[in-house]
Amino acid sequence: MPSTITAEKAALRRELRSRLKALSPAQRQAGDDALLRRFLSLPQVEAAQTLLLYHGMGTEPDTSRLLVPLWEAGKRLCLPRCLPGNTLEARLVRPDSSLVRHAYGMWEPGEDCSLVEPEEIGLVLVPGLAFDRSGGRLGQGGGYYDRWLAGFSGLTVALCRQLTLLDLVPRQAHDRPVDLVVTETAVYGLSPAGDGESGA
C-alpha cells in the first residue's frame, strides 16, 4: 500500500505534466531563454570548473543549449549515464563526443566517454518536475538522482519554470533538496549575497 506522500507525489506528477504539456512552443522557448540566461550568469557557475548537466527532453528546458557557451568558457562538462538499479554515473563529454539515446528517450554519453567521479564535480544541474523555494524537488519517480546525490558534496542547482514552482514539495526521508532553484525571474537559495532570494 503506497504511503500518503507517495500517492500525493503521483497525483502532483500527473497534474504538473498536464500543465507543462499545455505550454505553447513559444512559451517554452521564452521560458528556456530566461532560465538558461539566468543559469549562465550565476557566479557559482562561473566558479565551477567541472559541471554535471543533463540533456533536457520533452517539456524540460532545452539544456543542450548550455553546452557550447560552457565549453567556450573552458568548463569540463559531464552528462549522466543511467545504470541498472536506477543509478547514475557521470561521463565527460566534449564537442566531438557521440551521444546515444536511452530507452527513456534522453541523450546520454556512451561508454567511450571517460568516467568522472563525484568528487571531481563542483556543480550539478538537477532535473525535476517541480521545486519549491527551499530546494524541495519532485523528480520523475525513478530515484536516480536521489541515489547519486547521496554521495555528492558539491553545489546542486535546478531550473524550474515558474509554472511548476510550488509552495511546498512533499518530501520523504530519501529526497535530496537542491541548493539553488533558478526560475525565469529569480534565484532561490544561496544567492551571491547569502541565503535567500536573488533577482540576479
CATH number at residue 152: 3.40.50.10420
Nearest-angstrom CA–CA distance, 67 and 55: 10
User: Between 85 and 39, where is the model more confident?
Assistant: 39
Lowest pLDDT segment from 3-12, 58-67, 71-80: 3-12
Which residues form the domain of 48? 4-198
Total number of domains in the chain: 1
CB 181 within 8 A of CB 187: yes
Bridge partners for 130 per DSSP? 138
pLDDT of residue 141: 64
Quick: pLDDT tens for 124-153.
Answer: 999 999 999 999 998 776 778 888 998 899
Contact (Cβ atoms closer than 8 angstroms) between residue 152 and residue 174: no
For residue 133, the model assigns a pLDDT of: 94
Q: How far apart are CA 58 and CA 27, in angstroms?
A: 14
pLDDT grade for 188, boundaries at 50, 70 and 90: very high
- Please tell me the predicted confidence (pLDDT) of residue 63: 96
Q: Has residue 192 got a pLDDT over 60?
A: no
